[in-house]
């Protein structure tokens, strides 16, 4: 059974939405924004739910007790500028329409979506309780300047043939220099670019993600 609903609103990005079964916990459901990779761009509103987090949810929905938003980036564009702004607007819309917990909003993405996760997190560092980029990259200076206090768990495969692992190593160094004591970096020695297939099934990561709660302030 397909657990996702699909939406193609006018003047907005198409998106897939996962709603967990049962009643929300006190304070509302956690909310996850998932940004897909370049291969899932398009306009069908569905493809982005077939790679990465989507299959992991289908395999073990009980591990993902959260509302999950999966917007789709148009062909030929990146998670930057207008598409990233529209994804952020959709996040706010989902919060208005569903019972979610403002202290437990999480951001994750893979490959192109890993870039997008770093970038959106840098734009709104107080918005997310945690950020989990996978095999992405960003400007180390931005990361050092903007993400020194955000819980981050970054993942990369050392054998990545698409996005060099050296990019993530540089960001781990930037976070260390920023004094971020809540940042983690896992480098898998034999994994290639599709390291997300492993990450989203790592029980330790899932437990860490849902344990993060945003502290006081906006």
Angle between helices 112-123 and 81-97 (to 10 degrees): 70
- Could you give the count of Cα atoms lying within 13 Å of 129 in the half-sphere of its Cβ? 19
> The whole model's pTM is what?
0.96
pLDDT over 70 for what percent of the chain? 98
pLDDT in tens, 110-157: 999 999 999 999 999 999 999 999 999 999 999 999 999 999 999 999
pLDDT computed for residue 215 by the predictor = 75
- Quote the CA–CA distance of 162 and 26 in Å, as a whole number: 42
Could you tell me the residue ranges of all domains in the chain? 4-211
pLDDT computed for residue 216 by the predictor = 58
pLDDT computed for residue 10 by the predictor = 87
- Overall average pLDDT of the 38-64 stretch: 96
pLDDT over 90 for what percent of the chain? 95
Q: What is the mean pLDDT of the chain?
A: 96
Q: Please name the CATH architecture into which domain 4-211 falls.
A: 3-Layer(aba) Sandwich (3.40)
């Amino acid at each position: 059974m397909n657990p996702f609903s699909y939406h193609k609103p006018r003047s907005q990005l198409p998106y897939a939405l996962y709603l967990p079964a049962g009643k929300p916990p006190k304070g509302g459901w956690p909310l996850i924004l998932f940004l897909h990779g370049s291969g899932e761009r398009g306009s069908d509103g569905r493809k982005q739910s077939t790679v990465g987090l989507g299959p992991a949810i289908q395999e073990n929905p009980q591990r993902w007790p959260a509302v999950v938003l999966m917007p789709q980036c148009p062909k030929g564009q990146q998670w930057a500028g207008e598409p990233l702004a529209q994804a952020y607007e959709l996040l706010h819309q989902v919060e208005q329409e569903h019972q979610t917990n403002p202290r437990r909003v999480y951001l994750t993405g893979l490959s192109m979506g890993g870039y997008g996760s770093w970038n959106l997190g840098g734009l709104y560092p107080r918005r997310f309780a945690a950020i989990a980029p996978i095999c992405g990259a960003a400007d180390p200076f931005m990361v050092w300047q903007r993400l020194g206090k955000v819980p981050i768990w970054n993942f990369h495969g050392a054998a990545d043939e698409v996005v060099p692992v050296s990019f993530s190593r540089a960001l781990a160094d930037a976070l260390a220099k920023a004094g971020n004591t809540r940042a983690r970096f896992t480098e898998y020695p034999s994994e290639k670019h599709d390291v997300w297939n492993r990450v989203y099934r790592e029980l330790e990561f899932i437990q860490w993600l849902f344990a993060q709660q945003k502290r006081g302030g906006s």
